[in-house]
Chains A and B, each alone.
Chain A
Amino acid sequence: MRTFLRGVTPALLAGVLIATALVLFQAPAPVRVLAFAVLALAAGLSASRIVRGRAGLTDDDADVGYSLPGVVVLVLMLAVVLALSVLGIAIDTPGIAWATGASAFALVVVAHVVAGPPAWPTAPRRALGPVLAVVVLCAAVAGAAAMRPAQVERYTQLSVDETPPSVGGGERVSLGWTLLGYGSALPAAEPPVEVVIGGRRLPEVDAETGAVTATGVQGAVDQRRGTVAFTAPDGAGIYDVHVKVGAADWSEIVVRLVVNQ
């Protein structure tokens, strides 16, 4: 018991509990990344010690000792989600946090029993060089990523709010439309609106064009909404209706209008 309390094991167990709590309480991402590192190290190093046993590192084991924790973490993460799936527990933050925390805790305890108390890491001075190298390389990667020019696509999207239902001959038909601007703001000038039915342009349509407003659509800069109303043809049949909003060739919606007698 005295060995247990003096060793690294209590610190590892406390680390596992704290890390699990941080994940469960949805701490900010940078904190959770550290919490994950604690869980992964505790579970991975313990499992690695269980595999190697009390004999410690042999020559062959040196690289195994450094790498096996990573392998164990991969397998453990998969085992956790598969177990949750088999047990019918949702794969979400609480489920994964509890399962991972419990697994890490159990591995630390089993490693203590099977392989004895772990030792504190030695020679931290030797870590200075690798840490500096990691910082330099990360800076280089960030610099290389920053060299890429930012790509902004500028385009407009036109959509009809809903396709028209079947109507009777001569009835009024109203279609709503929405223009969304991406990458740049929509032009301030109102777009011309015209309607072509069965290949013939309607001389008169009731077009209401709203102002450019902010939009909640993800990625879009702004939007303009409007409606266009016209009288359906008298004759029964299926008509193609082209509603053109703006001057660009592509900027039209094409719907089928079924006119009943």
Chain B
Amino acid sequence: MTDAPTQRIARVTDEAPTERIDLGAAETQVIEPIRESTPDVPEPPPARVRWWTSWPFIVATSALGILVVGLSYRLAEEGGNANIRYGVFWAGMLLAAIPVTARVATGDRAGGAWGVALLGVLTYVPKFLRNPDGPAYHDEYAHWRQALDVLGSGQLFRPNSIIPIVQYYPGTSGITAAVHELTGLSVFSAGQLVLFTSHMLVLFGIVVLAQVHLRSPTAGALAALVYALNPSEMYFDTQYAYEGIAIALFVWALALTSIAARSTGRRRVAALVTALLCTAACLATHHLTTLFMVLLLVVVVAVVSVRGWRTRRREGRVPEGVAVWWILFGGTVGMGALWTTFVATPTLTYLSPYFGGSVEQLSDINTEQDTSRVVLAPSPQPLWERGLTALAPVVVGIICLAAILMLRKVLKQWRADTLVLMAYGLMYFPAVLFLLAPSGAEGARRSWAFTYLGIALIAAFVIPRWRARRPVRWWSRGPVLTLAFVVVLVGNVGGGLNDPYRFPGPFRWGTDTNSASAEARTVGEQLAARAGRVRVVADRYTALQLVGYSGLRVAAPSEGFPAWELVQTGADPNPRLAADLRGSGFDYLVVDTRMAEEASFIGDNYGPTDPLIGQATPRENLDRLDRVPWASRIITTEHLRVYKLDLFLLGANLVEDGP
């Protein structure tokens, strides 16, 4: 057993001499013995490198694919048939991704590492090309503004009116500020650099994690390849926001702890300390990632401890690594408790609607059809992509089923932490159900990036075993696996973010991305120039521009603070709201008249409490603002109007007759 890893290395390096990477001492060193039984992993010999898996060809097709993706964005910008731009986009992506995937699948270690690096680039490029120069996504505005405010004030923990909780998680803005100050790059470019680094680190973290758990270099690259297919990978976790950074720290905390659990002495201490540092950084960066880590660690320590207890009773020894997981768990929970108690106190209030609301709405789906989300409903997304979106979980399910069948007979041979990480992947399937619930869709989307870690391990466990079988069956041959790769890649990206997030395009009212306009931006800048960083009532789309570019503070409407009454009803605001607005210093109202031309693409103009969800704002509601005594239109463009509010005049009458 102890010799097995050494033999594997010899086989890899002997059979692929021209593709060997510089392993340094690795080629002569014996890996530390695994003290708990770990079954031998079938390591199919590396496939021969053919012309279509040679690096010049892979790089050329990748470059060409990137250009084709750029072309699809140009087509999207010009409007026109959605089928064409989606088709062109996928032609480019598959042209770029399939050859490198084939290279990773050949199984040579050096090819795997470079292949993972190239896959990291290819899965980052679509989002980068989407908006290379400035923020476009909702969360990007929030974090960009946060970084600007940190730099402007020289202090962390600045208030944020787009995502208030961002104030208490200074990781993204702090790292961006540091990189900006050190490099002199623009704040957004500094953020892009940080996100790109994090994106690559996630994939290499998965490589390390899978290698450690599955004891196979091939499995490492394969796991990273499968993880790169997760629905959040290409757009959501590459946006300039906290999850993209935190998830790298999450993966590395797990990878380093896994190394520590299999090491001894100084190496164990060093790996564990670094893992704890990653956890602390994760904690200061993103609440939800920390929560997912705690949930995972609860199960890991429970299962590892029970397995350890049973082993001690049966064999009289404690398996190694139990204490390591407990230390990480204790450290995470302890630091998390301190952070949420003394620094990020509103965290629980912020997160609770994602979970409680989703469960409640999921249970209501059978009885109240109107409240459920229509999955993949009105959207320019072509039918074939929607079909693949529905098919992707099926393909993943088949792989997981195969893993369960393979594992059930050898369950006891595998370490408990490995099994728990794999089982964590199975949480992906209940999360898919949550897509049916309106607010659960958000929670479900957020979970994919985490649960796919387990899916990646499962796939990296199963696929080499399929391919190692002799004779190789039809379902484990290259074309079938390539087809599965295409289905999961296209389907998962399709199930991730909506059309306006993925593609640029002409102005479309009611999207965070394509409702952005220079008109709104410059109106905000003008208002800030004449009145300072004042408090403003605005729709959610204009608000992003006003906050992001001008630092204005925008009201967050809620049931208790229905600021939308100013626009979404044909009457004056009720006295209580007027008093709240006056008392809080909301002296300005910004209106985009395009909200009266069409219904919002995503449904509402003022958040979930908007009374006109799914409807355009009546034009009369906007025009009456020019006839009420409490509002003066002081800045105007063709589409934007800025009103100065004087709510003390609420109830006063205008003189009907002029001079």
Contacts and interface: CB of A to CB of B under 8 A. Distances in A.
Interface of A: 23, 26-29, 32-33, 35-36, 39, 50-53, 55-64, 66-68, 70-75, 77-82, 85, 90-93, 95-97, 100, 122-123, 126, 129-130, 132-133, 136-137, 139-141, 143-149, 151, 153, 155-160, 163, 180, 182-183, 196-200, 202, 217-220, 231-235, 237-240, 242, 248, 250-256
B546 to A, nearest CB: 15
B484 interface: no
B59 A136 contact: yes
Nearest to A48: B274
Summarize B's interface: helix, strand, loop or mixed: helix
Contacts of A183: 518
A92 B64 contact: no
B208 A70 contact: no
Contacts of A95: 154
A93 B155 contact: no
A238 B174 contact: no
26 contacts: A53-B267, A57-B26, A59-B26, A59-B217, A61-B26, A64-B255, A67-B204, A70-B200, A71-B248, A71-B278, A74-B175, A74-B198, A74-B201, A74-B281, A75-B249, A81-B175, A91-B181, A126-B22, A137-B121, A141-B125, A141-B128, A143-B66, A157-B523, A157-B637, A219-B521, A254-B632
Interface residues of B, number: 117
B383 interface: no
- Going nearest first, the 4 A-B pairs with the smallest beta carbon separation are A144-B70, A198-B658, A200-B658, A90-B154
Given A26-B184, A147-B71, A70 B201 contact: yes
Interface in B190-206: 194, 197-198, 200-201, 204-205
A33 B184 contact: yes
Contacts of B266: 53
Contacts of B182: 23, 32, 35-36, 39, 96-97, 100
Contacts of B74: 147-149
Given A57-B24, A77-B175, A163-B644, A133 B59 contact: yes
B440 interface: no
Nearest to B626: A254
Contact of A253 (B248, B278, B633): B633
Contact of B519 (A66, A68, A155): A155
Contacts of A139: 63
Given A77-B174, A250-B637, A71 B201 contact: yes
B570 interface: no
B659 A59 contact: no
Contacts of B205: 67, 71
A257 to B, nearest CB: 9
Given A67-B204, A85-B156, A129-B55, A157 B522 contact: yes
Nearest to B24: A57
B318 interface: no
Contacts of B633: 252-255
Interface string B627-659: 101001111111100101010010011111111
A145 B29 CA distance: 47
Contacts of B55: 129, 133
B278 A238 contact: no
Contact of A91 (B121, B174, B179): B174
B184 A153 contact: no
Given A53-B267, A217-B526, A60 B22 contact: no
A74 B128 contact: no
B75 to A, nearest CB: 10
Contact of B627 (A68, A202, A218, A240): A240
Interface in B312-331: none
Contact of B23 (A59, A64, A197, A237): A59
A46 B217 CA distance: 25
Contacts of B654: 198, 237-240, 256
A216 to B, nearest CB: 10
A232 B655 CA distance: 13
Contacts of B32: 58
Nearest to A219: B522
A75 B277 CA distance: 7
B286 to A, nearest CB: 12
B219 interface: no
Interface string B328-353: 00000000000000000000000000
B9 A66 contact: no
Contacts of B183: 29, 32-33, 35-36
Contacts of A36: 179, 182-183
B629 A140 contact: no
Given A58-B31, A78-B175, A126-B22, A197 B659 contact: yes
Contacts of A155: 518-519, 637-639
Interface in B258-313: 259, 266-267, 270-271, 274, 277-278, 281, 284-285
Nearest to B255: A64
Contacts of B652: 238
A60 B211 contact: yes
A255 B529 CA distance: 20
Nearest to A146: B70
A58 B26 contact: yes
B215 to A, nearest CB: 9
B212 A81 contact: no
B635 A182 contact: no
B207 interface: yes
Contacts of A231: 659
A212 B259 CA distance: 70
Nearest to B210: A63
B185 interface: yes
Contact of A250 (B523, B529, B636): B636
B464 interface: no
Given A33-B183, A71-B201, A218 B525 contact: yes
A58 B211 CA distance: 12
A196 B658 contact: yes
Interface in B518-535: 518-519, 521-523, 525-526, 529-530
Contacts of A92: 151, 154, 181
A31 to B, nearest CB: 8
A232 B658 CA distance: 9
B78 interface: yes
Contacts of A160: 634-635
B66 A82 contact: no
A157 B523 CA distance: 8
Interface string B169-186: 011001101110111110
B227 to A, nearest CB: 14
A64 B208 contact: yes
B421 interface: no
B204 A66 contact: yes
A217 B525 CA distance: 9
Contacts of A252: 633, 636
Nearest to B205: A67
Contact of B25 (A56, A93, A234): A56
Given A81-B174, A155-B637, A254-B626, 15 more contacts: A59-B31, A62-B23, A74-B197, A78-B174, A78-B285, A123-B22, A141-B128, A143-B66, A148-B77, A153-B518, A156-B637, A158-B635, A217-B525, A220-B522, A254-B633
A85 to B, nearest CB: 5
Contact of A28 (B109, B184, B526): B184
Contacts of A136: 59-60, 63
Contacts of A77: 174-175, 178-179
A197 B266 CA distance: 83
Given A70-B197, A141-B129, A78 B522 contact: no
Nearest to B64: A140
A63 B204 CA distance: 7
A159 B207 CA distance: 58
Contacts of B627: 240
